[in-house]
């Protein structure tokens, strides 16, 4: 029996009060922990959004965006100027092209569908058009109308992307997604060989595997790897070294899209301006940073809401335990006087009360951790959904080019896709906060304890 065990026992002297206190305190700690988790999840997300899209500048020929619009290709000489700019870490370049049935034996893995039919009939662009006889006639819905339409069957073309950064799918005419190598290897960015990475669906359609060959631009190209981008558009393309495509397609020195990586997010907007003035009217220069900033803004609001709630909940907990300790000290005035009269020091008495407070808050911490763990994800989701839904409709409203849409659409969906993970650190923080507020609460109470005179015991109530 010592002060600590007495303190622990005293915590259960009034079971009703202890239960009520532990529940209330547990609730406030649980809220604090949930807010802490939300805050962490949101900061992690902000950091990853910033680092993934925040520091690049997209450059494309003026008036061109992928295969939409027109324009004149950029040159390597122009892009060398960009690479020379301060803050530009690297420039990845690509040249997009379409293979026609004349220069490849590859068949697209994507069916035309309603959209493809409509585009081909309205634009009349130089898509690969096959004469469709009755035998090979289309079996799609547009011909079911029975109208004597000219049988023009459109097959989506196979895109080829010559690039210096083969694993980056967010530029040019690529469909975005995350590059995952399924088989084989990735060629070097500065390769000049006749090699290619083939999207998984395109490979399947054409029975290609690592080591197989196919024909492009009338030249035999060897498949060195198969990749999966997680989306059908990206998986229907051929990725080849930039130099190879430039050479085979007779466009040496031409670039249809480039991405400059800036050393830090802070320098993106100044670098965008610098790139614009370096390239003049030849190029359209955009960056995702500004739009990412806007996507992040609601997250930052959530972060501060979570932080204030966290502080508020911890403060509420500290006040609750402090008030309770004051109440208990008042209640046990005489008892404190007695044990002082029979030889206990102030420190000894205060230690006993501290043990009592720590017992109460530790119990509350257990409940708080259970509540916090259970509530962390729903609370984070609720906060994020509520405050990003309005922002999403705003920022997604305007028509964006595909490159921007691809990258930025990814940002938007990933902003709302937050999972709060509860780790051991949260449990440690929970107990840490519990012990901290116990020490603060009983520390202040001990000032009152010190004031109680042992002479009080002589008073008969």
Partner 1 sequence: MIEVIDLKRNFKSGDTTVHAVNGISFSVPDGQFASIVGQSGSGKSTLLTLLGALDKPTSGSIVVDGQDVTKMHDHKLIGYRGRKIGFVFQNYNLVPNLTALENVMLPMEFAHMPRARRKARAAELLEQVGLSADQQDRKPGKLSGGQQQRVAIARALANKPKLILADEPTGNLDSKTGKMIFDLLHDLAKTENTTIITVTHDLSISGKTDVTFTLHDGALVKT
**Strand pairing report for 180-184 and 254-255:** unpaired
DSSP calls for 66-99? TTEE----EEHHHHHHHHHSTTEEEEEEEEEEEE
Q: Distances from the Cα of 112 to the Cαs of 69, 115, 264, 327, in angstroms? A: 21, 7, 42, 77
Residue with smaller CB distance to partner 1, 3 or 368: 3
Q: Which of 57, 268, 434, 457 binds partner 1 (CB under 8 A)?
A: 457
Q: How large is the C-alpha radius of gyration of the chain?
A: 34
Which C-beta is closer to partner 1: that of 276 or that of 348? 348
Q: Is 394 exposed, middle or buried (0-12, 13-18, 19+ CB in 10 A)?
A: exposed
User: How many other CB atoms are found less than 10 A from the CB of residue 257?
Assistant: 25
State in angstroms the smallest separation of the CB of 332 from partner 1. 9
Do the Cβ atoms of 151 and 234 come closer than 8 Å?
no
Q: Using CB under 8 A, which residues numbered 305 to 334 contact partner 1?
A: 334
What's the min distance (Å) between Cβ of 455 and partner 1? 4
CB of 344 to partner 1, least distance (A): 5
Q: Confirm or reject binding of residue 461 to partner 1 (CB under 8 A).
A: yes
Q: Pick between residue 319 and residue 338 the one whose CB is nearest to partner 1.
A: 338
Assess contact for 215 and 103: CB atoms under 8 A.
yes
Tell me the site size for partner 1, rule CB under 8 A.
25
Site string for partner 1, 332-351 (x = CB under 8 A): --xx--xxxxxxxx--x---
Instruction: Kindly indicate which of the ranges 8-16, 63-71, 238-246, 278-286 contains the residues binding partner 1, using the contact rule CB under 8 A.
Output: 8-16
Residue nearer to partner 1 on the CB measure, 110 or 339: 339
- Least separation in angstroms between residue 361's CB and partner 1 is 20
Closer by beta carbon to partner 1, 3 or else 66: 3
List the interface residues with partner 1, window 345-384 (CB under 8 A).
345, 348
For position 4 contacting partner 1 by CB under 8 A, the verdict is no
Least separation in angstroms between residue 441's CB and partner 1 is: 21
Closer of 102 and 461 to partner 1 (Cβ): 461
Residue 10, interface with partner 1 (CB under 8 A)?
Answer: yes
Task: Characterise 362 by phi-psi region: left (phi > 0), alpha (psi -120 to 50), beta (else).
Answer: alpha
Q: Pick one of 13, 118, 185, 451: the residue that binds partner 1 (CB under 8 A).
A: 13
Partnered with residue 238 across adjacent β-strands are: 160, 198
- In the complex, minimum distance from the CB of residue 388 to partner 1, in angstroms, rounded to a whole number: 54
Does 144 contact partner 1 by CB under 8 A? no
Residue 126: burial class (beta carbons within 10 Å; 0-12, 13-18, 19+): exposed
Residue with Cβ nearer partner 1 (32 or 339)? 339
Choose among 270, 195, 184, 180: nearest CA to 229.
180
Query: Exposure of 258 by Cβ count < 10 A (0-12 exposed, 13-18 middle, 19+ buried)?
Result: buried
Residue 270 binds partner 1 (CB under 8 A): no
Beta carbon nearer to partner 1, 168 or 352: 352
List CB contacts of 384: < 8 A, sequence separation 6 or more: 42, 298, 299, 302, 415, 416, 418
Least gap, CB of 338 to partner 1 (angstroms): 5
For position 32 contacting partner 1 by CB under 8 A, the verdict is no
Structure tokens at 179: 């590059």
Helix (H) or strand (E) holding 191: none
Interaction of residue 185 with partner 1, rule CB under 8 A: no
Give me the least distance between CB of 435 and partner 1, in Å please. 24
Residues in contact with partner 1 by the rule CB under 8 A: 1-2, 6, 9-10, 13, 334-335, 338-345, 348, 453-455, 457-461
């Amino acid at each position: 029996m010592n002060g600590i065990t007495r303190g622990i026992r005293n915590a259960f002297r009034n079971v009703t009060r202890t239960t009520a206190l532990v529940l209330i305190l547990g609730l406030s700690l649980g809220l604090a922990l949930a807010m802490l988790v939300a805050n962490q999840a949101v900061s992690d997300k902000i950091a990853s959004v910033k680092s993934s899209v925040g520091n690049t500048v997209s450059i494309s020929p003026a008036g061109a965006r992928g295969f939409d619009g027109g324009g004149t290709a950029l040159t390597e000489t122009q892009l060398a100027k960009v690479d020379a700019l301060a803050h530009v870490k690297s420039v990845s370049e690509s040249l997009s092209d379409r293979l026609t049935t004349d220069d490849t034996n590859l068949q697209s893995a994507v069916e035309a569908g309603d959209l493809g039919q409509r585009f081909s009939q309205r634009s009349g662009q130089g898509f690969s058009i096959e004469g469709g006889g009755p035998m090979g006639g289309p079996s799609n819905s547009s011909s079911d109308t029975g109208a004597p339409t000219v049988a023009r069957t459109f097959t989506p073309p196979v895109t080829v992307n010559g690039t210096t950064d083969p694993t980056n799918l967010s530029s040019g005419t690529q469909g975005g997604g995350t590059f995952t190598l399924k088989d084989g290897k990735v060629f070097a960015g500065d390769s000049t060989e006749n090699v290619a990475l083939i999207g998984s669906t395109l490979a399947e359609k054409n029975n290609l595997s690592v080591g197989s060959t196919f024909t492009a631009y009338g030249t035999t190209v060897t498949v060195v790897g198969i990749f999966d981008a997680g989306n059908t558009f990206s998986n229907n393309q051929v990725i080849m070294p930039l130099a190879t495509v430039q050479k085979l397609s007779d466009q040496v020195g031409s670039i249809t899209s480039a991405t400059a990586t800036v050393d830090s997010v802070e320098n993106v907007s100044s670098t965008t301006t610098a790139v614009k003035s370096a390239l003049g009217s030849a190029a359209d220069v955009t960056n995702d940073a500004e739009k990412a900033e806007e996507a992040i803004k609601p997250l930052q609001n959530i972060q501060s809401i979570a932080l204030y709630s966290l502080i508020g909940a911890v403060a509420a907990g500290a006040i609750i335990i402090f008030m309770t300790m004051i109440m208990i000290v008042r209640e046990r005035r005489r008892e404190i006087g007695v044990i002082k009269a029979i030889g206990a020091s102030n420190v000894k008495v205060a230690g006993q009360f501290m043990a009592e407070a720590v017992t109460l808050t530790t119990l509350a911490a257990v409940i708080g951790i259970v509540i916090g763990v259970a509530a962390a994800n729903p609370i984070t989701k609720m906060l994020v959904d509520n405050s990003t839904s309005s922002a999403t409709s705003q920022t997604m409203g305007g028509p964006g080019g595909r490159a921007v849409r691809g990258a930025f659409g990814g940002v938007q969906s990933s902003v709302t896709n937050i999972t709060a993970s509860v780790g051991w650190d949260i449990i440690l923080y929970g107990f840490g906060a519990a012990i901290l507020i116990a020490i603060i609460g009983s520390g202040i109470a001990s000032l009152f304890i010190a004031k109680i005179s042992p002479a009080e015991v002589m008073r008969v109530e």
